[in-house]
């Protein structure tokens, strides 16, 4: 363990406090953070607040030089294989802050000065690398908040590792010191210089955090320290990235000025090096895997995940276009519809009724799976405002709707969920099919929905009766008044027979009633009043 001295200077005296500095056998110094430097300079001893009799503080230290170097590492410590860890010094020298000390010394003779008249204080740290007795160069860093770091280094080491220092030294003859003003990251700057004394830079980065290595990478590039840059890239290529670290890593790596570092291994994690498999082929494969799964929990969870990811993608499908994504989804829809129609035909065949239950169950289960797949695809298309074509396709399935009533309601009710989802989408304006499509959809699928309504209410937990009824009612009210009348009168006959086992379309019925009986009379009265005035 070596220790540097932090000095706070004013016009009269210097206050010194010990700061722990970790030094490895190779001479690598671990700089304390900026917060530690500031805390060290600002902290004070509570005992110094009590002013003793006689006016002079017994703790007032003697004048000290502005900067003290860290002691040279002994040869025994340099040969030790394990680096020394930084520890808090238990015997820190305690003192008054510079402002209070100056006030104590001048209290008897001079009145206190205003705060804004005090000279600006500077906190200085002196560190050394390698064999301090052979150092032949001083590098002074001036950072923020008055922090200055003076490094005792070796010309050959810095010039051999850094193009920045090589250029500086070649321009000065002889060069005994280099000053770096407005240093943005003093701590990392010193650490990066220390890495020039290490034989294995990558080993020194192990167990460091990704944000800290990115800071080292930035300074290493500024210094023209290629070995450190490559070690940082190797570290970033191997270490996991968590949360927002990915964007920071990608941005930092892409902002490297030189292309000779070979940043592609790092970026391969977020972008493939070749495009042999188009993204939409991969997307189609994922959709197909989910649709063909027969494991309930895995299929349910992956459907939810894929739907969420697609909803988050507001512009197109992954790196492809929205049209290509919709094409994949519609191709899957047609495949599911073809399979569902074949299953319906098989389940309604006359010979099927005579077969054993264990033969029927797999068919009924497959019917439910295909209907659930169609419902999932309809949800995705509705979320993407691309379900108009699906409404056209579904409205044209007269054969499927005709076979619907011949299957057990337990197996077929998910088909009615697809119908309900389309009505909800039209009612909310998520899709805008033509008038003919809307009328055909109601003609073909409203009665099957009403037949399954009692089961949907009591056997389907995801079914929201109020939302569906509002969607059906609004869809009916988008039609011409004559079509509204035909559909609502047919619904009225069913509702008066089965009650709650039928969708409650009373709100739509009220609107139709006012349009049919109230509005014409009101308009007629308005026209008469206007004629009388004229």
- Determine contact, residues 148/123, Cβ cutoff 8 Å: yes
Per the structure block, which two tokens stand in for 453? 């309504």
Alpha helices in 33-180 (DSSP H): 34-42, 75-78, 98-106, 155-161, 163-170
CA quadruple 281, 286, 287, 289: dihedral, nearest 10: 120
Q: Of the given ranges (42-51, 250-259, 504-513), which has the lowest mean pLDDT?
A: 42-51
Long-range contacts of 393-399, Cβ-Cβ distance < 8 Å, separation of 24 or more:
393/330, 393/333, 393/334, 393/337, 394/418, 394/419, 394/422, 394/441, 394/445, 395/433, 395/437, 395/440, 395/441, 395/444, 395/445, 396/440, 396/444, 397/337, 397/341, 397/444, 398/444, 399/341
Tokens of 3: 């220790």
357-411: pLDDT as tens digits: 888 899 999 999 999 999 999 999 998 889 999 999 999 999 999 999 999 888 8
d(CA 6, CA 38): 10
Residue 334: per-residue pLDDT: 96
119: helix, coil or strand? Answer: coil
pLDDT of 263 reads: 65
Residue 262's pLDDT band (cuts 50, 70, 90): low
Report the C-alpha gap between 84 and 147 in whole angstroms: 25
Q: What is the model's pLDDT at position 376?
A: 95
CA distance 253 to 488: 65
As a whole number of angstroms, the distance between CA 378 and CA 287 comes to 13
Three-state DSSP at 29 gives: strand
* DSSP-derived secondary structure for 152-164: EE-HHHHHHH-HH
Q: Which of 304-308, 458-462, 479-483, 524-528 has the lowest mean pLDDT?
A: 524-528
Please, are residues 205 and 231 in contact by the beta-carbon 8 Å criterion?
yes
Distance of CA 58 to the CA centre of its chain: 58
User: Is 59 in contact with 95 (CB distance < 8 Å)?
Assistant: yes
Nearest one of 171, 183, 204 to 139, comparing CA atoms:
183
pTM for this predicted structure: 0.65
Q: What is the mean pLDDT of the chain?
A: 77
Supply the pLDDT for residue 258: 66
pLDDT at 329: 94
| Percentage of the residues of the chain whose pLDDT score is greater than 70 | 71
Instruction: Check: CB of residue 64 under 8 Å from CB of residue 16.
Output: yes
Query: What is the Cα–Cα distance from 295 to 136, expressed in whole angstroms?
Result: 72
Would you state the pLDDT for residue 439? 96
Return the structure tokens found at 18: 């010990």
Which is more confidently placed, 319 or 309?
309
DSSP 324-376: HHHHHHHHHHHHHHHHHHHHHHHHTSTTGGGS-HHHHHHHHHHHHHHHHHHHH
pLDDT of 86 strictly over 80: no
Using N-to-C axis directions, what is the helix angle for 210-223 and 163-170, rounded to 10°? 30
| pLDDT at 188 (0 to 100) | 93
Distance CA 500, CA 115 (A): 82
To the nearest 10°, report the CA torsion of 473, 477, 481, 482. Answer: -50
pLDDT higher at 234 or 55: 234
Mean pLDDT of the region 257-282: 71
Q: What is the DSSP letter of 172?
A: S
Pick the more confident residue, 105 or 216. Answer: 216
CB 78 within 8 A of CB 84: no
Mean per-residue pLDDT, 457-473: 90
Residue 74 has pLDDT above 60, yes or no: no
Give the number of other Cβ atoms within 10 Å of residue 322's Cβ: 15
Residue 23 has pLDDT above 70, yes or no: no
Q: Which long-range contacts (CB under 8 A, 24 or more apart) does 266-274 make?
A: 266/233, 266/236, 266/237, 269/237, 269/241, 270/246
Mean pLDDT value of segment 13-32: 42
Residue 385 — left, alpha, or beta (φ > 0 → left; ψ -120 to 50 → alpha)?
A: left
Contacts of residue 161, Cβ cutoff 8 Å, sequence gap at least 6 = 196, 225, 227, 228
Quote the distance between the C-alpha of residue 87 and its chain's center.
37
Task: Determine the average pLDDT of the residues in 462-478.
Answer: 94
Place of tokens 């797999």: 362
The SS3 of residue 401 is: helix
Contacts of 100 (CB under 8 A, 6+ apart): 44, 48
- Mention every residue, 6+ apart, whose C-beta is less than 8 A from residue 137: 152, 153, 154, 155, 158, 169, 175, 176, 177, 178
What's the rounded Cα separation, in Å, for the pair 189 and 218? Answer: 10
Q: Domains (ranges, CATH) in the chain?
A: 17-42+121-197 (3.30.710), 206-273 (no CATH), 280-313+320-518 (no CATH)
Mean pLDDT comparison of 117-131, 167-181, 303-317, 417-431, highest-scoring range = 417-431
Supply the pLDDT for residue 322. Answer: 67
Task: Output the pLDDT for position 42.
Answer: 54
Q: What is the dihedral of CA 512, 515, 517, 522, to 10 degrees?
A: 160
pLDDT (tens digit per residue) in 484-534: 999 999 999 999 999 888 999 999 999 999 999 998 887 777 776 776 666
Q: Could you report the per-residue pLDDT of 321-341, keeping only the tens digit for each?
A: 567 788 999 999 999 999 999
């Amino acid at each position: 363990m070596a220790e540097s001295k932090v000095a706070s200077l004013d016009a009269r005296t210097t206050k010194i406090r010990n700061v722990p500095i970790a030094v490895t056998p190779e001479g690598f110094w671990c700089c304390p953070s900026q917060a530690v430097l500031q805390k060290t300079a600002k902290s004070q001893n509570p005992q110094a607040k009590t002013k003793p009799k006689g006016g002079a503080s017994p703790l007032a230290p003697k004048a000290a030089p502005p900067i003290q170097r860290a002691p040279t590492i002994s040869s025994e410590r340099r040969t030790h294989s394990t680096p020394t860890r930084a520890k808090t010094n238990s015997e820190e020298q305690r003192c008054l802050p510079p402002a209070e000390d100056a006030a104590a010394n001048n209290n008897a003779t001079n009145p206190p000065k205003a705060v804004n008249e005090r000279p600006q204080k500077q906190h200085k740290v002196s560190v050394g690398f390698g064999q301090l007795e052979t150092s032949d160069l001083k590098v002074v860093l001036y950072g923020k908040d008055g922090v200055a770091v003076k490094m005792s280094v070796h010309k050959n080491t810095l010039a051999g590792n850094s193009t920045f220092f090589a250029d500086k030294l070649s321009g000065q003859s002889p060069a005994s010191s280099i000053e770096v003003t407005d240093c943005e990251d003093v701590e990392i700057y010193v650490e990066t210089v220390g890495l020039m004394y290490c034989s294995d830079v990558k080993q020194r980065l192990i167990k460091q955090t990704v944000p800290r290595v990115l800071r080292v990478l930035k300074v290493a590039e500024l210094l023209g320290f290629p070995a450190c840059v490559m070690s940082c890239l190797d570290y970033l290529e191997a270490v996991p990235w968590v949360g927002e670290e990915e964007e920071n890593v990608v941005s930092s790596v892409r902002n490297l000025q030189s292309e000779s570092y070979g940043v592609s291994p790092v970026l391969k994690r977020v972008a493939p090096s070749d495009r042999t498999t188009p993204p939409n082929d991969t997307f189609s494969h994922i959709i197909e895997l989910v649709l063909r799964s027969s494991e309930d929990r895995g299929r349910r969870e992956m459907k939810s995940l894929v739907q969420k990811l697609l909803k988050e993608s507001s512009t197109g499908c992954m790196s492809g276009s929205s049209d290509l994504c919709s094409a994949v989804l519609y191709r899957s829809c047609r495949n599911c519809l073809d399979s569902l129609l074949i299953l319906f035909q098989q389940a309604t065949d006359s010979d099927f009724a005579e077969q054993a239950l264990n033969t029927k169950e797999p068919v009924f289960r497959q019917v439910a799976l295909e209907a659930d797949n169609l419902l999932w695809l309809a949800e995705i298309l509705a979320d993407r405002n691309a379900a108009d074509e699906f409404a056209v396709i579904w409205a044209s399935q007269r054969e499927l709707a005709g076979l619907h009533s011949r299957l057990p309601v337990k197996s077929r009710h998910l088909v009615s969920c697809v119908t309900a989802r389309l009505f909800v989408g039209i009612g909310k304006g998520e899709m805008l099919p033509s008038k003919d499509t809307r009328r055909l959809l109601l003609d073909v699928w409203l009665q099957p929905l009403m037949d399954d309504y009692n089961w949907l209410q009591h056997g389907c937990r995801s079914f929201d009766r109020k939302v569906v009824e509002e969607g059906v009612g609004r869809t009916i009210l988008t039609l011409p008044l004559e079509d509204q009348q035909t559909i609502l009168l047919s619904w009225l006959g069913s509702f008066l027979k089965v009650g709650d086992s039928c969708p409650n379309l009373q709100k739509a019925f009220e609107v139709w009633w006012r349009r049919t009986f109230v509005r014409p009379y009101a308009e007629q009265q308005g026209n008469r009043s206007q004629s009388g005035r004229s």
